[in-house]
Amino acid sequence: MWPSFSSNILGLALLPLALASPFQKRASGPWMALDTDFPDPSFVGTPDGTWYAFGTNGNGKRVQVASSSDFQKWTLLDKEALPTLGGWETDVNHWAPHVIMRNDGKYVMYYSGEAKSDTGHHCVGAAVSQGTDPSGPYIPQPNPFACNLDKGGSIDPAGFLDSDGTRYVVYKVDGNSIGNGGDCNNGVAPIKPTPIMLQKVKEDGVTPVGDPVQILDRDSSDGPLVEAPNLILHQGTYFLFYSTHCFTDPKYDVRYATATSITGPYTKTNTQLLKTGEFGMTSPGGGTVSGAGDKLVLHSFCEPNVRCAYAANISIKGKTVTVL
């Protein structure tokens, strides 16, 4: 019998691709998870296998939340995850939420909020879920988790659970907010530091233990800043994911540094895991990787001024991260 017309067409169409990379599957890259403004996304998996993603304020919500049953297809929920505020914060600029599950089954959301005492600058807040629903509502702690307003404030928190059960939070000191102008307000000398800090916390996820330690900072190859830190441990190596440059700049990207101890030293690989022009991305950033190191969410401009959320499969071998 003759092969059907359609299968013949398909066979011919696939041939050049197969010849071009005979041994390696071509990376397909991130796929769009939410075709709407959902910047700085993070995600958490739940015991029943559902995924929840959280995004910066948008679509009429202070903190946006979306869910997925398979990590492939996502649905934006019409729910305000943070219906009440901490006494220290204003009602605007709830940025870069990140959620972890606690041992007691409740969830902790870390987020950036604008400081009432110093508007235009931000502190990191922590809020605990009322029950065991990861979509909230989350009830803010009365006091901010970290401020550092004298150094520009604090933003972009992410929780981390170490293999020995110790919990940490990483965040960025927002030095460029008190910079001298130019690129993201930090392109004019003297350039302000934008350190990434590591803070140990108690099992409750919200009570700091000791002082934070600095684990990274910008250098000239990062442009005005490093930000959006997110930490995982994979087979004995700590991977600190972060973004460099201004989020509006085509140079915004996702990079990672590695360390063999949680407190560092962290060595920048200077690998651009995601960058403008690859996989159709424009200023990709705000990447968050799962604890297992096989999934990532991030944002990329999908229209002017709209940062859609994308999801990707990744693979880690040794100290190298690859987008699949």
324 lies in the site for ligand NAG, by CB under 6 A: yes
- What DSSP line would sit under 117-164, residue for residue? GGTT-EEEEEEEESSS-TT--EEE-SS-SB--GGGTBEEEEEEEE-TT
Token duo for residue 276: 């403008």
Nearer to ligand NAG, 272 or 279 (CB): 279
CA distance 200 to 243: 22
Nearer to ligand NAG, 173 or 254 (CB): 254
**What string of H, E and C letters represents the secondary structure of 3-64?**
CCHHHHHHHHHHHHHHHHCCCCCCCCCCEEEECCCCCCCEEEECCCCCEEEEECCECCECCE
Nearer to ligand NAG, 31 or 143 (CB): 31
Q: Are 259 and 269 in contact (CB under 8 A)?
A: no
Name the catalytic one among 37, 40, 89, 183.
40
Sequence-distant (6+) residues with CB within 8 A of 274 are 30, 253, 254, 281, 284, 285, 287, 298, 300, 312, 323
Nearer to ligand NAG, 136 or 287 (CB): 287
How many residues belong to the site for ligand NAG (CB under 6 A)?
Answer: 4
**Where do the DSSP E strands lie in 184-271?**
196-201, 213-216, 226-234, 237-244, 255-259, 267-268
Q: How far is the CB of 265 from ligand NAG (least distance, A)?
A: 33
Q: How far is the CB of 315 from ligand NAG (least distance, A)?
A: 10
Nearer to ligand NAG, 73 or 202 (CB): 73
Query: Under DSSP, is residue 245 helix (H, G, I), strand (E, B) or coil?
Result: coil
Name the catalytic one among 174, 183, 222, 227.
227
Residue among 31, 84, 105, 131 that touches ligand NAG (CB under 6 A) = 31
**258-287 residues near ligand NAG, rule: CB under 6 A:** none
Q: Are 159 and 109 in contact (CB under 8 A)?
A: no
Nearer to ligand NAG, 67 or 313 (CB): 313
- Contact map string, positions 295 to 314, toward ligand NAG, x by CB under 6 A: ------------------x-
Sequence-distant (6+) residues with CB within 8 A of 294 are 313, 314, 315, 316
Nearest to 201 by CA among 158, 159, 155, 167: 167
Is residue 40 flagged as an active site residue?
yes
Residue among 14, 18, 21, 28 that touches ligand NAG (CB under 6 A) = 28
Output the CA–CA distances (angstroms, integers) from residue 318 to 89, 160, 237, 293, 322, in the order listed.
42, 20, 8, 12, 11
Q: How far is the CB of 324 from ligand NAG (least distance, A)?
A: 5
Q: How far is the CB of 323 from ligand NAG (least distance, A)?
A: 10
Q: Are 197 and 211 in contact (CB under 8 A)?
A: no
Q: How far is the CB of 239 from ligand NAG (least distance, A)?
A: 19
Nearer to ligand NAG, 28 or 117 (CB): 28
CA distance 155 to 187: 19
Q: How far is the CB of 231 from ligand NAG (least distance, A)?
A: 23
Q: How far is the CB of 279 from ligand NAG (least distance, A)?
A: 10
Residues with a known catalytic role: 40, 227
Residues in touch with ligand NAG (CB under 6 A): 28, 31, 313, 324
